[in-house]
Amino acid sequence: MFLISRCDEWLPESKRNLVPRWTRGVYVLFKKRRGGGKKGRFDVVYVGMSSTSIRNRLRTHARNKKGLWDHFSVFEVHMNISEDMVKELEGLLRHIYSLDTHANELNMAKSFKAFKEISAPLENWSQAGVPFHT
Protein backbone atom coordinates (compact mmCIF):
# COMPACT_ATOMS: atom_id res chain seq x y z
CA MET A 1 0.00 0.00 0.00
CA PHE A 2 1.11 3.54 -0.72
CA LEU A 3 0.23 5.17 2.64
CA ILE A 4 -0.10 2.37 5.20
CA SER A 5 2.86 0.13 6.08
CA ARG A 6 1.24 -2.00 8.81
CA CYS A 7 -2.05 -2.32 10.62
CA ASP A 8 -3.77 -4.33 13.32
CA GLU A 9 -7.47 -4.11 13.99
CA TRP A 10 -10.09 -4.55 16.68
CA LEU A 11 -7.58 -5.02 19.48
CA PRO A 12 -8.71 -4.91 23.10
CA GLU A 13 -7.72 -1.73 24.94
CA SER A 14 -5.46 -3.82 27.19
CA LYS A 15 -3.05 -4.27 24.23
CA ARG A 16 -2.45 -0.53 23.72
CA ASN A 17 1.02 -0.75 25.30
CA LEU A 18 2.09 -3.20 22.58
CA VAL A 19 2.01 -0.38 20.03
CA PRO A 20 5.64 0.70 19.56
CA ARG A 21 6.30 4.19 20.99
CA TRP A 22 7.35 5.70 17.64
CA THR A 23 4.32 4.55 15.63
CA ARG A 24 2.89 7.33 13.43
CA GLY A 25 -0.42 7.21 11.61
CA VAL A 26 -4.14 6.92 12.15
CA TYR A 27 -6.04 5.01 14.81
CA VAL A 28 -9.68 4.28 15.53
CA LEU A 29 -11.32 3.76 18.93
CA PHE A 30 -14.28 1.35 19.07
CA LYS A 31 -16.94 0.23 21.52
CA LYS A 32 -17.72 -3.47 21.13
CA ARG A 33 -21.39 -4.34 20.81
CA ARG A 34 -23.13 -7.56 21.71
CA GLY A 35 -23.66 -10.11 19.00
CA GLY A 36 -22.10 -10.14 15.60
CA GLY A 37 -20.78 -13.69 15.69
CA LYS A 38 -17.22 -14.80 16.27
CA LYS A 39 -15.51 -11.49 15.45
CA GLY A 40 -18.15 -9.25 17.00
CA ARG A 41 -19.53 -5.87 16.01
CA PHE A 42 -17.98 -2.51 16.78
CA ASP A 43 -19.15 1.10 16.81
CA VAL A 44 -16.65 3.79 15.86
CA VAL A 45 -16.14 6.12 18.81
CA TYR A 46 -13.25 8.25 17.58
CA VAL A 47 -10.84 8.61 14.65
CA GLY A 48 -7.49 10.15 15.48
CA MET A 49 -3.93 10.57 14.28
CA SER A 50 -0.48 11.05 15.63
CA SER A 51 2.63 12.19 13.81
CA THR A 52 4.82 11.14 16.74
CA SER A 53 3.27 8.40 18.93
CA ILE A 54 -0.06 6.63 18.60
CA ARG A 55 0.82 4.77 21.79
CA ASN A 56 0.86 8.04 23.76
CA ARG A 57 -2.46 9.11 22.22
CA LEU A 58 -4.04 5.77 23.24
CA ARG A 59 -2.73 6.23 26.78
CA THR A 60 -4.30 9.71 26.93
CA HIS A 61 -7.61 8.37 25.59
CA ALA A 62 -7.54 5.58 28.18
CA ARG A 63 -7.66 8.32 30.83
CA ASN A 64 -9.81 10.98 29.14
CA LYS A 65 -12.30 8.74 27.34
CA LYS A 66 -12.42 5.95 29.90
CA GLY A 67 -15.45 3.71 29.43
CA LEU A 68 -16.26 5.16 26.00
CA TRP A 69 -14.07 2.68 24.11
CA ASP A 70 -12.74 -0.81 24.67
CA HIS A 71 -11.04 -1.73 21.36
CA PHE A 72 -8.84 0.03 18.83
CA SER A 73 -7.28 -0.33 15.39
CA VAL A 74 -3.94 1.17 14.39
CA PHE A 75 -2.75 2.04 10.87
CA GLU A 76 0.94 2.89 10.67
CA VAL A 77 2.08 5.12 7.80
CA HIS A 78 5.34 4.70 5.89
CA MET A 79 8.27 6.80 7.08
CA ASN A 80 8.14 9.01 3.96
CA ILE A 81 4.53 10.10 4.66
CA SER A 82 4.48 13.66 5.95
CA GLU A 83 2.49 14.95 8.92
CA ASP A 84 0.27 16.90 6.51
CA MET A 85 -0.55 13.68 4.64
CA VAL A 86 -1.47 11.95 7.91
CA LYS A 87 -3.70 14.91 8.84
CA GLU A 88 -5.42 14.71 5.46
CA LEU A 89 -6.06 10.99 5.90
CA GLU A 90 -7.50 11.58 9.38
CA GLY A 91 -9.59 14.45 8.04
CA LEU A 92 -11.01 12.26 5.29
CA LEU A 93 -12.02 9.57 7.76
CA ARG A 94 -13.63 12.09 10.11
CA HIS A 95 -15.40 13.73 7.18
CA ILE A 96 -16.93 10.39 6.20
CA TYR A 97 -18.43 10.08 9.68
CA SER A 98 -19.47 13.73 10.00
CA LEU A 99 -23.14 13.14 9.08
CA ASP A 100 -23.45 9.58 10.34
CA THR A 101 -26.36 9.42 12.78
CA HIS A 102 -24.67 6.59 14.67
CA ALA A 103 -21.24 8.20 14.93
CA ASN A 104 -20.15 9.39 18.32
CA GLU A 105 -19.98 13.16 18.78
CA LEU A 106 -16.28 12.86 19.58
CA ASN A 107 -15.63 12.23 15.87
CA MET A 108 -16.99 15.64 14.99
CA ALA A 109 -14.73 17.62 17.30
CA LYS A 110 -12.73 19.04 14.39
CA SER A 111 -13.88 19.99 10.93
CA PHE A 112 -11.69 19.39 7.92
CA LYS A 113 -11.52 22.73 6.14
CA ALA A 114 -9.61 21.36 3.14
CA PHE A 115 -12.74 19.63 1.86
CA LYS A 116 -14.58 22.94 1.78
CA GLU A 117 -11.82 24.33 -0.45
CA ILE A 118 -12.00 21.48 -2.99
CA SER A 119 -15.72 20.72 -2.81
CA ALA A 120 -17.48 21.14 -6.16
CA PRO A 121 -20.77 19.79 -7.53
CA LEU A 122 -20.28 16.95 -10.02
CA GLU A 123 -22.13 18.99 -12.64
CA ASN A 124 -19.19 21.42 -12.60
CA TRP A 125 -16.50 18.77 -13.08
CA SER A 126 -14.96 18.60 -16.52
CA GLN A 127 -12.96 15.90 -18.27
CA ALA A 128 -9.99 18.27 -18.25
CA GLY A 129 -9.32 17.34 -14.62
CA VAL A 130 -9.08 13.60 -15.34
CA PRO A 131 -5.53 12.25 -14.97
CA PHE A 132 -3.96 10.44 -17.90
CA HIS A 133 -3.97 6.63 -17.48
CA THR A 134 -1.74 4.27 -19.42
Q: What local confidence, expressed as pLDDT, does residue 11 receive?
A: 93
- For the whole model, what pTM was predicted? 0.79
- Per domain, the residue ranges of the chain are 4-110
Q: What local confidence, expressed as pLDDT, does residue 93 receive?
A: 84
Question: pLDDT (tens digit, 9 = 90+) per residue, 59-96?
Answer: 999 999 889 999 999 999 999 999 999 988 888 888 88
User: Which runs of consecutive H residues, i.e. helices, occur in the chain?
Assistant: 54-64, 83-97, 113-118
Q: Which residues have C-beta within 8 Å of that of residue 2, sequence separation ≥ 6? A: 78
Has residue 28 got a pLDDT over 90? yes
Question: pLDDT (tens digit, 9 = 90+) per residue, 107-116?
Answer: 554 556 666 6
